[in-house]
Every structure is written in C-alpha cells, then in structure tokens.
C-alpha cells in the first residue's frame, strides 16, 4: 500500500484491484452506518473520496493524512465541496489528533490499522477515545486473519505475497493480530461488524464506554505468559530451531516478575519469545516490571542493529503502556546490547525516565540490580562467544542451512535417485546430511582456533582443510576407498567453507564493513566450488550406477 501511495492519481484504482473491489463495499457499508449532522474525523483519508461522500450526507468532516501529496490531491479533486466549510483536509497523524478533547461524534479510519504496529494500534485507540464524545463511535476497516479453514489458505496466500514483496524490496503491512484484545480494556465495545472474503477484510463499529470524565482511558496489559515448565521449554527449542529465519513475537507491553510494587525497578527488553523466557527465568525471585518493546519478534542485539529496537520503539512503549503509573522509579534499565539502537542524547527533552544500560546477559541482572555498579565489571559488559553460545549458535545455524540452503538440493538429489532406482546412493545422501551437521559441530566447537585472523575467508579455508582431514578420516572408516575420498573431498571442503562463512552473523564480533568487503570474493570462490562439486557429483552418480564404488 505504501508503494501505491506514491502516486495519488492511480491509488484508488490500484487499491481497488488489490482488494478485488472489496474496498468499495467497505466504503458503502461505512456510509450506511452514518447519519447526518455529525462531526466526523477521518484518519488516513488518502485520496479523500470517503470524506467527500460523508460530507454529502450532511456531516462536518475533518480528514487527515500524513502524506502531503495525498492531501494536496484530495484538496484539488474535491475543491467544490471544500467551499461550504464542512470539509477540511489537513496534514496530521493519529499520534496527535488536531481536535479538542471529547468533541467528535465519530472517527472513521479505513485500511490504516494494518499499517500500524501493535503498540501504535493501542495509541490509536487511546487517542480516539480521548477525542470522542461519551457516546461517540469509532468505525474501522482493516485486514484481519480469517478464522477456521480459511486461515490456512489465507496464510499460504500471505506467505506467497510476502515472498513477492521481499523480491521487490517492499515492506508488507502488519496483520492485525492482537487488536481485539485491546478494545475492551482501553474503553470500547464492539457494535456492528461486517466481514468480507471470509473475514480477511473486516469493518467494525466500536462504541465508546467507561467514560467517567477522566482525562486518560485505561491501559491495556497483555496476559502473563508462562516461562516455566515443559511448554515454555518447547518454546525455547522452537526459537533455537528457527532462529535467523522466523520472528517469534510475544505481545509487547508490561509483564510482571514476582509481585512488583511501585518501588520495583523497570527492566526493558525485546519481545522475542526466547528473550522473554530467558529474562524471566533469570529474574526469578526479584520483583520487577518487565517492559517488552515491540522489536518485531527479534532479539535485542539484532533488533538494535536493524531498526527494530531504537528510540522510536522505546517512546512508543512509554506512551502506550502505564509504565509511568505503575512505578515511582524514574530509571529504565535497558540491555547493554540495545545501545546500538537506542540513542540517549536523541531522546526528547521531556522524556520522563533516565536511561541506564544494564549488563549484556540477563544472567547478570540479579547481581546488577543488587550492586548497581557505576562501572560494570568485565564479566557483565563484554560479549564473549562462549562454548555454550557456540553450541546454541551451531544448532540454530544447522537448521537454518537445512531449511534455506540445502533443502531443495537434497530433495532434488533424492528424487533423481529414486528415478534412477539406486538405493546405494541414498546412503550417500544420508552421509551428506551427516557431514553438514558434522561441519557445523566442528565450526562451533573449534571456532576459537581460528582466532589468528579476522578474515572470514581465511577462517573458512582453515575449517575447510580441517574438515577434509576430519570428515575424510571418518569417511575412510566407512569406505576404505581412495577413489571415494578423491571424489568427495571437494564436497567436504565446500560444505565447511560455506558453513563457516554463513556462521559469521553469530559470532557477535563480526563487523558489517568487513563482511561486506569479503562478500564478492566469497561469491567467486563459492561459485567455483559449486561448479566443482556438481561435476564431482555427476562423476559420483556415474560411478554409483556402474557399481564401481558403493
């Protein structure tokens, strides 16, 4: 949708074809819900067509959008309606509504919600609540996940759509996942509801409730998530086995460790499931407020290096949660590794908290909280790539390689061998899988041996040679054949070479500049090796068919 917004002239027609005409039905449904003589605010008015229709029903409408081109386009297109003074287009956003408190009968917003992140959706609801009269209404239309059987086909379509967007380097919209949880706590109840396309597009009418004359609506807080027991252990394994590929977000917001009071410290972290569980386990026995920012289901270090754990996420979490109310403490304790994203001096002047960076690892938090050192000891602040980290990184990396790199080749080889009706070669394939796993075991255990250089290509060649001897020796035990070794040593080398290069992201001490400079060289070596491996693979197959080796 962001792509479409670049050209206001074609936005309407392109959007209609994207939603297969549903947006027209949505607009007419919304118009059916509106009587006359009401003061209406439209948030995210786009090309302004809905706003002008609402005016022609006899209402006073203010339409805002944060895209100046859209506003100019709308002003031009509907210039005749503007003259009555009942329609106003202006630049604005949901974060700061240009209206008085409790002044509106109705707020309308179509297809904006899916552009907002979970905490932004809460800010949106809260601001809407503040702007509405006690009997006011909010009408929303957005993309949702359909229920039941349709969920499956929707997910497949969505997966395909996301792949396409990634190829085009476009960001996709967020699915409105937890939105229905927010409605009641913040102070709305669902009135009318209409679904299209099995619920993948919905329009909802929300009625304002709980207006006791207070300034602020209530806050939403996610349900406590378990961090002990079998299920959470399985969640940990899930993260270990899908890391680097899958984002596993939990609901962002405030969680409690123990029974925190207004004197308890506030600890900030990412909303990755693994991070949450580890942190909560390490905090056991300590009463604290845990604020999970919306880092998009990514761990702290990677999120800070991307754009997922920074000032924006921090500010948004402070605004949408009651963290200022629950604790008297005016210090936020952030993970040290988030400093690559959070910039203290750039925070606004009226930022209500002091920001303090805690230890790197959550296991040191207990000690940090009790001692509050001005200068942290080295054990707390240095990111060491220890053996246990390497083992976990090795597991994640192996699953990553199988899923993203070797899955298709392995299936292709398997199918061609089934076609050739040769059982012996399936053994060879089984060995290949073991070699891939073994390569990663070698890398993760012996990684410190390659400390003599920072260049990953050199490390990769080092481990490649290492594995020719190591895997070659094991393979000799199975086959006792020089010919077999001769045909396969390049494959052993390539697997380990490739794995070492791909392992670079896990080591923490790799610099993006260095790895980006090494990439073109890696690409050349890798292509050469792949050609060599494919040729050897062909010879292997011929030998297998001729039964020279087995």
Closest distance to another protein from the beta carbon of 456 (Å): 8
Task: Decide if 103 contacts 129 (C-beta within 8 A).
Answer: no
Strands 201-208 and 132-143: antiparallel
**DSSP letter for each residue of 281-321:** HHTTT--EEEEE---TT--HHHHHHTTSSSHHHHHHHHHHS
Closest distance to another protein from the beta carbon of 190 (Å): 24
Task: Decide if 276 contacts 249 (C-beta within 8 A).
Answer: no
* Local structure of residue 404 (DSSP, 8 states): I
Closest distance to another protein from the beta carbon of 341 (Å): 8
Binding flag, residue 464, another protein (CB under 8 A)? no
Sketch the per residue contact string, 185 through 214, with another protein: x for CB under 8 A, - otherwise.
------------------------------
Q: Which is nearer to another protein, 170 or 542 (CB)?
A: 170
Count of Cβ atoms closer than 10 Å to residue 283 Cβ: 20
φ and ψ at 256, to 5 degrees? -115, 135
Instruction: For the chain, report the end-to-end CA distance as a whole number of angstroms.
Output: 57
Binding flag, residue 306, another protein (CB under 8 A)? yes
Element of type H or E holding 441: helix 424-446
Binding flag, residue 508, another protein (CB under 8 A)? yes
Binding flag, residue 520, another protein (CB under 8 A)? yes
Pick the binder of another protein from 165, 175, 236, 383 (CB under 8 A).
383
Binding flag, residue 539, another protein (CB under 8 A)? no
Task: Decide if 33 contacts 139 (C-beta within 8 A).
Answer: yes
HEC profile of 124-178: HHHHHHHHEEEEEEEEEEEEECCCCHHHHHHHHHHHHHHHHHHHCCCCCCCCECC
Q: Segment contacting another protein (CB under 8 A): 23-31, 201-209, 370-378, 413-421?
A: 370-378
Q: How far apart are CA 142 and CA 199, in angstroms?
A: 10
Task: Decide if 259 contacts 289 (C-beta within 8 A).
Answer: no
Binding flag, residue 375, another protein (CB under 8 A)? yes
Q: Segment contacting another protein (CB under 8 A): 254-262, 288-296, 300-308, 532-540?
A: 300-308
Q: How far apart are CA 413 and CA 429, in angstroms?
A: 8
Sketch the per residue contact string, 350 through 369, with another protein: x for CB under 8 A, - otherwise.
-------x--x---------
Sketch the per residue contact string, 124 through 143, with another protein: x for CB under 8 A, - otherwise.
--------------------
Task: Decide if 460 contacts 413 (C-beta within 8 A).
Answer: no
Binding flag, residue 518, another protein (CB under 8 A)? yes
Q: How far apart are CA 145 and CA 161, in angstroms?
A: 14
Pick the binder of another protein from 19, 45, 264, 336 (CB under 8 A).
336
Structure-token pair, residue 38: 């009401």
Binding flag, residue 12, another protein (CB under 8 A)? no
Q: Which residues, 6+ apart, have CB-to-CB distance to 326 below 8 Å?
A: 254, 260, 262, 289
Closest distance to another protein from the beta carbon of 143 (Å): 14
Q: How far apart are CA 312 and CA 306, in angstroms?
A: 12
- Comparing CA positions, the residue from 204, 34, 65, 215 lying closest to residue 129 is 215
Pick the binder of another protein from 37, 100, 148, 169 (CB under 8 A).
169
Q: How far apart are CA 281 and CA 83, in angstroms?
A: 63
Pick the binder of another protein from 515, 532, 541, 549 (CB under 8 A).
515
Pick the binder of another protein from 84, 346, 388, 547 (CB under 8 A).
346
Q: Segment contacting another protein (CB under 8 A): 21-29, 276-284, 499-507, 531-539?
A: 499-507
Binding flag, residue 340, another protein (CB under 8 A)? yes
Pick the binder of another protein from 315, 519, 532, 543 (CB under 8 A).
519
Count of Cβ atoms closer than 10 Å to residue 256 Cβ: 15
Q: Which of residues 20-79 bind another protein (CB under 8 A)?
A: 44, 65-67
Pick the binder of another protein from 106, 302, 413, 436 (CB under 8 A).
302
Binding flag, residue 146, another protein (CB under 8 A)? no
Closest distance to another protein from the beta carbon of 544 (Å): 33
Pick the binder of another protein from 85, 345, 388, 421 (CB under 8 A).
345
Sketch the per residue contact string, 215 through 254, with another protein: x for CB under 8 A, - otherwise.
-----------------------------x----------
Task: Write down the residue that tokens 């009408």 correspond to.
Answer: 139
Q: How far apart are CA 403 and CA 129, in angstroms?
A: 46
Task: Write down the residue that tokens 């040191």 correspond to.
Answer: 364
- Comparing CA positions, the residue from 285, 348, 275 lying closest to residue 309 is 275
Binding site for another protein (CB under 8 A): 2, 5-6, 44, 65-67, 93, 112, 115-116, 169, 244, 302, 304-306, 336-337, 339-346, 357, 360, 375-376, 378, 381-383, 454, 456, 501-502, 504-505, 507-516, 518-520, 522-523
């Amino acid at each position: 949708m962001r792509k479409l917004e670049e050209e206001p002239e074609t936005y309407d027609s392109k959007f209609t074809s994207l939603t297969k005409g549903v947006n027209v039905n949505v607009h007419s449904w919304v118009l059916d819900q509106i009587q006359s003589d009401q003061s209406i605010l439209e948030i995210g008015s786009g090309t302004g067509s809905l706003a002008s229709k609402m005016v022609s029903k006899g209402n006073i409408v203010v339409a805002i959008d944060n895209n100046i081109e859209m506003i100019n386009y709308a002003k031009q297109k509907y210039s005749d309606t503007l003259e009555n003074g009942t329609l106003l287009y202006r630049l604005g956003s949901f974060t700061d509504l240009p209206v008085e408190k409790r002044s509106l009968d109705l707020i309308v917003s179509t297809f904006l919600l899916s552009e907002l992140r979970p905490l932004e959706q809460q800010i949106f609801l809260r601001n809407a609540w503040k702007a509405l009269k006690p009997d006011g209404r909010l009408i929303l239309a957005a993309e949702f996940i359909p229920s039941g059987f349709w969920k499956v086909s929707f997910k497949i379509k969505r997966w395909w759509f996301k792949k396409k967007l990634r190829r085009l380097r476009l960001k996709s919209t967020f699915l409105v996942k937890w939105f229905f949880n927010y409605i009641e706590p913040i102070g709305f109840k669902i009135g009318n509801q209409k679904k299209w396309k099995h619920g993948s597009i919905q329009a909802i009418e929300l009625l304002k409730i709980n207006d006791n004359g207070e300034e602020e609506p209530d806050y939403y807080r996610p349900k406590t998530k378990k961090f002990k027991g079998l299920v959470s252990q399985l969640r940990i394994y899930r993260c270990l086995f899908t890391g680097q590929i899958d984002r596993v977000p939990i609901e962002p917001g405030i969680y409690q460790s123990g029974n925190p009071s207004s004197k308890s410290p506030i600890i900030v972290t990412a909303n990755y499931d693994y991070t949450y569980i580890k942190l909560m386990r390490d905090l056991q026995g300590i009463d604290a407020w845990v604020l999970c920012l919306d880092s998009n289901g990514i761990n702290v270090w990677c999120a800070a290096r991307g754009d997922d754990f920074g000032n924006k996420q921090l500010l948004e979490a402070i605004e949408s949660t009651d963290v200022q109310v629950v604790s008297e403490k005016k210090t936020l304790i952030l993970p040290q590794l988030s400093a690559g994203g959070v910039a203290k001096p750039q925070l606004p002047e009226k930022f209500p908290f002091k920001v303090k960076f805690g230890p790197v690892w959550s296991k040191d938090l207990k000690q940090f909280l009790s001692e509050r050192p001005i200068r942290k000891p080295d054990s707390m602040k240095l990111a060491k790539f220890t053996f246990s980290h390497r083992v976990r990184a090795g597991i994640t990396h192996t699953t990553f390689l199988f899923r993203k790199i070797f899955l298709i080749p392995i299936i292709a080889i398997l199918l061609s061998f089934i076609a050739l009706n040769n059982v012996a070669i399936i053994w060879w394939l089984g060995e290949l899988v073991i070699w891939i796993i073994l390569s990663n075991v070698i890398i993760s255990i012996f990684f410190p041996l390659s400390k003599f250089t920072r260049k990953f290509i050199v490390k990769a060649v080092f481990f490649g040679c290492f594995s020719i001897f190591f895997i070659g020796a094991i393979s000799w035990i199975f086959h006792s054949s020089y010919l077999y070794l001769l045909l396969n040593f390049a494959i052993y080398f390539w697997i380990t070479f490739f794995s070492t290069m791909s392992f670079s992201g896990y080591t923490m001490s790799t610099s993006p500049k260095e790895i980006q400079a090494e990439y073109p060289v890696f690409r050349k070596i890798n292509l050469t090796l792949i050609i060599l491996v494919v040729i050897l693979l062909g010879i292997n197959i011929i030998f297998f068919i001729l039964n020279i080796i087995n």
